[in-house]
A and B are shown apart, each in its own frame.
Chain A
């Protein structure tokens, strides 16, 4: 029920609003509070314009709509002051304004109490209403930037630090806005921060960043938390990666682990570059090799092997959404995957691959890169995918509003989409598949909010002058391939760094922004520089990474670096990817998984598309991605109960263990000494020779007499084969096998 005082206030309020609307809300009084400088930040801090609250897509919350994080203050002002005949504001009795009554929960509010009665913010809103609810004033300064004090600091575990946020305005004034700023750490396990900006460090060493936001501008506070342990006897650096990582470790006082042994390196690098475990022959040859440069030579050999092209084509194929949605997609899927593989095999420069992808024209068989435009059809999706994949920038937010953590506006978004505005399509005989061509004309896209037509402009750059005859996509690709491009090379090297080290220098690997700085900025810059100078040579970036001492550190932690999660003081073990695991199991058991439509013996890492996830439960349950998104996160790399059960109990694994002419059969019937067979088994499974105790355990297990279902003793060979099957099963279920370490 509306109380009578509310009615009278409402009536008077209406008059006041009408009065207000008759004079300019932008006055000249510099001392007056304005909505844009004073009130909107309060609403943001109070969470009123958060996504789940009144900034919810559609109509806000219970009919009251605010723009997300106050990015559209003029619209918010309209909604607060004028909408519904001004019912949310009571100019003659500001304290009785519905805006305040709801925010303080005096009138029941689904969002609860957001502002305390008589708090500073409460009083400011009252004052603002009393002063006539100015939106802006001509004299009012405009926000320019914010500054965080301190901007960086070396901190000890569990230390606290109160941040101070100062807003700088165009008239040179500044204001402490700490109480209105928003704070968020990039790694919550390393630091916590209160709403008031009080940072508390945990006990994990490294760098942690607190992102500070205020009215669409952002800044960061970086805390370095050294472990403080003595860092001595560092391995001799082999390249700039070692120098920069070791420099960081010294600063943080984190001693790195030892260099791993040859067997570990062989298995690690074979899996990481070529997606497969080494064969017995390769392992024995490598272990026996006394050449001091044999690790470098191994890297070269792996880079020139087809396995490299297969493994990385598999990676890019999923990221580029090479997805089979219908049977008729098959040709396009095979062609696109092959194009990727061939490009990698011949080591086509990465900027050339991207140019061919972006500027693709023709039909799928004539130019397989066109298949990307089959899967990603709208300019918005095209720009978002390209930005995330190749620039490491997530533009999705900027389609509807200014990016909350970034500098990108809707104009930036639609200027980027304008590059894709001249894509012509002609139908083909294959359902859903078009011929792609460049449609002559001036490229432009309309900002959906302002209706302003925009010409193509790359991120952070002025618009290009593109003639109607020129394909704007080629401009975008050429811009990416410029040596000074601030995104392209960094995005790639960070993505590849993560491939080898499990964790990107920036995490997530495709979210590069000022407010998400790298854990080792110098290293990221150096890697990007190296990549550009190499001519965007993908093999070279892999070469320099895998030949570094850092990559060759042991996964076994020392007494200090076990807490390290982001400084690469040790190798972080990774789950084998679904395809690699399946191929490895086949390799160990001697089984061959037969996939549809490809020659028998084709490895899982060589499969062209996601359709095999349907035909292979193994691949699905171990997280092979379906090409639904451009995010690497679509690949599940964590353990699950289903995975464990499948490895331990499934008919598929049992069939592989017992396959005719398989490893168990071969070892049981080759009449070699048991110890030699156990050695072979360890070489094939772990790429290392077994320890004495392992041989002893295996020998005693194999020597056990076995009986059939009736309790009758099995013939010796059959019994021995069962023993080998059990032994292989046990080895396959070890972490040593399931992880790359």
Chain B
């Protein structure tokens, strides 16, 4: 192994074996399997290539999975036929469309968090040697992609040859594929003198001034580096006049509300000049038109007629497509008196705020760290008078920026009530000053229940109840969505693994059901997650995004430290306005300390008082006063959740397994040592005719002894690591009960 590759390998081993050091630092949330990096971060469709991963809380046995069955992986095998740690052969079927997929590993604890994995049409290479100087620049071919990561306090150098007049696009994809890198991209001449620099979007569109060699430099904005600062560098030649197509990227959380393109609609485009009222572009409603915030301080003015009593819903789509814009809409009525014209402000449309309170980045969580709100303008225009109106679209960030890539889509429509949904694993304050924003795979321990926040973006006045459920869960896993009532935008989903479930995983689907205009509708609920396990969001800004699919697993090997279930699995039937006591059963598998308090979640149960749970108690009674809760007749469901500190031991079984492996390895070494000594002596005593053969045998035996010694040394190190990881550590995690179901019946009339 070259010295250059050492850091990657060391980190990989440290992450796999050195879980204890992470545990010591991590005092919130039990360890969950996570893929941190893959190298390369993607590949060309129709190719097979090696991939190395780094991960967290992933043990030796790991299977690499992708969100599309056309991408497959097999372990790379060592010479002895055994799988090589963290190394895989990945095959992308030729019919896999370009895009960003999810890469995960399946391990003892279940399915890991995912890492973006790109599929493209261009040939790909992976940088193998350091290229942090002009002299060591890596030669790349145009129309290819290079996978690499930046080195801290250094600049990566690439060279390519081109000819005068060629149009070259250079793109450095980083944040769009989960990288922590904020790239600076530079094209320079052969001597390394900068010609054009991009520090904002990782994209340069450049026309080559003269035949020759050109240098591309890549570094972090603050010269950050390391495996997590990975990037894909795409250098392409493109004919003039052709719009550059950007490399695929992950979707932001707020993109859930982007409306679909109207089928069969005529693609309208804005026509400049339309900045001034006198140059307004005449349009008629409804409207779905594409425009651009270009040039700087651009204002696009559309003029239309509207009748009193009409109601129009207006939406701009721009920021949700990852553009650095903040669209703003102003509507004015044109009032004419003779030849004089006056414009009267009627309506201003601004951002769509998050429907739920957001965490304010304070001391701890005081809201959600996920934002489905957007800087795109949204609103409802109720026409009060017949007349001519002007709608102005501008970008509040566009005063001085000249970038034709900052485009928008303006939609003016009659009400089309609908909703978009997203769900994410709940983040809550677990201790004072908790700023953790960890990626949370749905990797359930047996007997564990995970709690999710579900948020709806209601559109065009939609105000129906929304029911959330999960389909295609693995065997032994159940889910319960709590209704989002008409006046609310958020609810809860809990997913539970049975205590006795066997190891299983599946790609599930979260669905949201409602009724619009009397017709039942079903919408996908997208899953969101943090891209990284951020342990202190004050030091590192979390990067939430939508996940392509919903992978769910149950471990089958490790159980939750505490399980709380209704003592009676049946639905509790209770009369309206009465009081009821619901017994819960607690199974303590871990040693807990401190206090455990549980609070309610579920529509109609908000007023249930927080319950203090005595540690080690096997039962717990939940008292409900239905009169106080004002629960109507019908079916209801709720759960209780809170945080508690347990002594957690990571993979205790690995200590025994490794001890046994070490014992065997020690025996093997003893045998090999004896065999080697005997062979050596035999060779010494051999007659001339057999000497050569016996020397060979002695050499082979010595080699076998050396290998056995190496195996033993490795196992000793591993035993040390797994023993350390298995040492008890205080970790505070979220405890959630299984769902508690009630059926409220009408009170008997006396």
B→A interface (CB under 8 Å): 132, 153-155, 182, 184, 193-194, 197, 199-200, 219, 221-223, 297, 299, 324, 326, 328, 330, 345, 348, 360-361, 392, 394, 396-401, 537-539, 541-542
Interface stretch of the complex, out of A357-365, A382-390, A569-577: A357-365
With A367-B324, A437-B326, A440-B348 as contacts: A598 and B153 at CB distance below 8 Å: yes
- Is the CB–CB distance between A361 and B154 below 8 Å? no
User: Taking the nearest CB of chain B, how far is it from the CB of A560, in angstroms?
Assistant: 46
Instruction: Assess the B541–A429 pair: CB atoms within 8 A.
Output: yes
B171 to A: closest C-beta gap in Å: 17
- B297's nearest neighbour on chain A, judged by CB, is A474
Check A356–B396 contact: CB distance below 8 A: no
User: Assuming A334-B221, A368-B199, A440-B330, is B400 touching A361 (CB within 8 A)?
Assistant: yes
* B-contact 0/1 string along A332-348, CB 8 Å cutoff: 00110011001001000
B154 touches A599 (CB 8 A): yes
**Which A300-358 residues sit within 8 Å CB-CB of chain B?**
306, 327-328, 330-331, 334-335, 338-339, 342, 345, 355-356
Contact A474 B400 (CB under 8 A): yes
Complex contact B324–A331 (CB within 8 A) = no
Q: Is B400 a contact partner of A430 (Cβ separation < 8 A)?
A: no
Cβ contacts under 8 Å, B199 to chain A? 335, 338-339, 342, 365, 368
Contact residue among A330, A356, A435 (Cβ-Cβ distance under 8 Å from B222): A330
Alpha-carbon distance between A365 and B175 when the two chains are bound, in angstroms: 12
| Residue of chain A at shortest CB distance from B371 | A429
A interface residues, how many (CB within 8 angstroms): 41
A-B contact pairs, 28 of them (CB 8 A): A306-B193, A306-B194, A331-B182, A331-B221, A334-B221, A334-B222, A338-B197, A338-B199, A338-B221, A359-B400, A360-B399, A361-B396, A362-B401, A363-B324, A365-B199, A367-B397, A367-B401, A429-B361, A431-B361, A437-B396, A438-B399, A469-B299, A471-B399, A597-B153, A597-B222, A599-B132, A599-B219, A599-B223
A338-B199, A429-B361 known; A366-B324 Cβ under 8 A: yes
**Cβ-defined contact, A365 with B221, below 8 A:** yes
B371 to chain A, nearest CB (A): 10
Report yes or no: A429 in contact with B537, Cβ–Cβ below 8 A.
yes
Chain B residue at minimum C-beta to C-beta distance from A471: B399
Q: Does A486 count as interface, using CB distance less than 8 angstroms?
A: no
Closest A-chain residue to B220, C-beta based? Answer: A334
Identify B223's interface contact among A339, A365, A597, CB under 8 A. A597
Are A424 and B396 in contact, CB atoms less than 8 angstroms apart?
Answer: yes
In the complex, what distance in Å separates the CA atom of A32 from the CA atom of B544? Answer: 79
Which residues of chain A come closer than 8 Å to B193, judged between CB atoms?
306
Q: Is the CB of A345 within 8 A of B194?
A: yes
Within the complex, what minimum Cβ distance (angstroms) separates B155 from chain A? 6
| A449 CB-CB contact with B under 8 Å | no
Q: What residues of A have a CB within 8 angstroms of the CB of B399 in the complex?
A: 359-361, 438, 471, 473-474
State whether the Cβ of A427 lies closer than 8 Å to any Cβ in chain B.
yes
Indicate whether A710 reaches chain B with its CB closer than 8 angstroms: no
What are the 6 tightest A-B residue pairs by CB atom distance, in nearest-first order? A437-B396, A366-B324, A362-B397, A359-B400, A361-B397, A359-B399
Whole-angstrom CA separation of A474 from B401 in the bound complex? 12
Q: Is A600 positioned at the interface, with any CB of B under 8 Å from its CB? A: yes
Contact yes or no, A365 B200, CB < 8 A: yes
A429 to B541, CA, bound (A): 6
- How far is A598 from B222 in the complex, measured between Cα atoms in Å? 7
Whether A427 contacts B361 in the complex (CB less than 8 A), given A331-B182, A597-B222, comes out as yes
Q: How far is the CA of A495 from the CA of B397 in the complex (A)?
A: 31
Binding site for B on A (CB under 8 A): 306, 327-328, 330-331, 334-335, 338-339, 342, 345, 355-356, 359-363, 365-369, 424, 427, 429-431, 435, 437-438, 440, 468-469, 471, 473-474, 597-600
Contacts of B401 in A (CB 8 A): 361-362, 367
Residues from chain B with Cβ under 8 Å of A365 in the complex: 182, 199-200, 221
Q: Report the Cα distance A339→B200, complex, angstroms.
A: 10
| A335: chain B residues within 8 A (beta carbon) | 199, 221
Contacts of A338 in B (CB 8 A): 184, 197, 199, 221
Residue of A nearest to B224 (CB): A597
Question: Known: A367-B397, A368-B199, A469-B394. Is A598-B541 also a contact (CB below 8 A)?
Answer: no
Contact B542 A429 (CB under 8 A): yes
CA distance A306 to B188 in the complex (A): 12
Q: How far is the CB of A610 from chain B (nearest CB, A)?
A: 15
**Is A600 a contact of B153 with CB atoms below 8 Å?**
yes
Nearest chain B CB to A91's CB is how many angstroms away?
Answer: 59
CA distance A694 to B392 in the complex (A): 76
Across the interface, which residues of B come within 8 angstroms of A430, CB to CB? 541
Query: Contacts of B360 on A, CB cut-off 8 Å?
Result: 427
CB neighbours (8 Å) of A473 from chain B are 399
| With A342-B199, A345-B194 as contacts: A437 and B397 at CB distance below 8 Å | yes
Q: How far is the CA of A438 from the CA of B330 in the complex (A)?
A: 14
Q: When chains A and B are docked, how far (Å) is the Cα of A437 from the Cα of B293?
A: 15
CB < 8 Å neighbour of B326 from A327, A362, A600: A362
Asked if residues A360 and B394 are in contact (CB atoms below 8 Å), the reply is no
Of chain B, the residue at the smallest CB distance from A477 is B400
Q: Which one of B153, B197, B400 lies within 8 Å of A356 (CB-CB)? A: B400
Alpha-carbon distance A599/B219, docked complex (angstroms): 10
- CB proximity of B427 to chain A, nearest CB, Å: 14
Contacts of A440 in B (CB 8 A): 328, 330, 348
Distance from B438 Cβ to chain A, minimum over Cβ atoms (Å): 16
CB distance from A596 to the nearest CB of B (A): 8
Cα separation A435 to B223 with both chains bound (whole Å):
23
In whole angstroms, how far apart are the Cα atoms of A338 and B221 in the complex? 9
Q: Are A599 and B184 in contact (CB under 8 A)?
A: no
Q: List, in ascending order, chain B residues with CB within 8 A of A328's CB.
A: 538
CB distance from A331 to the nearest CB of B (A): 6
New contact pairs (15) apart from A331-B182, A361-B326, A471-B399, CB-CB < 8 Å:
A306-B194, A338-B184, A338-B197, A338-B221, A339-B199, A345-B197, A360-B400, A366-B324, A367-B200, A424-B396, A435-B326, A469-B299, A469-B392, A597-B153, A600-B153
Residue of A nearest to B193 (CB): A306
With both chains docked as a complex, state the minimum distance between the C-beta of A324 and any C-beta of chain B, in angstroms.
11
Residues of B within 8 A of A334 (CB): 221-223
Cβ of A339: which chain B residues have Cβ within 8 Å of it?
199
- A473–B396 Cα distance when bound, in Å, is 13
Q: Which residues of B contact A327 (CB under 8 A)?
A: 539
Give the distance to chain A from B467, nearest Cβ to Cβ, in Å.
33
Instruction: Establish whether residues B538 and A431, one from each chain, have CB atoms under 8 Å apart when the complex forms.
Output: yes
A366 in contact with B397 (CB, 8 Å): yes
A369 to B223: give the CA distance in the assembly, Å: 20
Which residues of B lie under 8 Å from residue A597 when comparing CB positions? 153, 222-223
Query: Which residue of chain A is the closest to B198 with respect to CB atoms?
Result: A342
A372, chain B: closest CB distance, angstroms: 12
Q: Which residue of B lies closest to A357 (CB)?
A: B400
A666 to B222, CA, bound (A): 34
Q: Which residue of A lies closest to B437 (CB)?
A: A429
Q: Which residues of B contact A362 (CB under 8 A)?
A: 324, 326, 397, 401
Residue of A nearest to B219 (CB): A599
Q: Which of B194, B199, B330, B360 has the most CB of A within 10 A?
A: B199
Smallest CB separation, A300 vs chain B (Å): 15
Give, as a whole number of angstroms, the nearest-CB distance from A472 to chain B. Answer: 11
Contacts of A330 in B (CB 8 A): 222
* Cβ distance A336 to chain B, nearest Cβ, rounded Å: 11
Contacts of B397 in A (CB 8 A): 361-362, 366-367, 435, 437
Interface centre among B197, B324, B397 (most CB of A within 10 A): B397
Complex Cα–Cα for A633 and B219 (A)? 34
- What residue in chain A is nearest B221 (Cβ atoms)? A334
**Of all chain A residues, which has the CB nearest B200?**
A366
Contacts of B345 in A (CB 8 A): 468
In the complex, chain A residues whose CB is within 8 Å of the CB of B396: 361, 424, 437-438
Residues of A within 8 A of B394 (CB): 469
Interface centre among B200, B299, B392, B542, by most chain A C-beta atoms within 10 angstroms, is: B200
- Within 8 Å CB of A600, what residues of B? 153-154
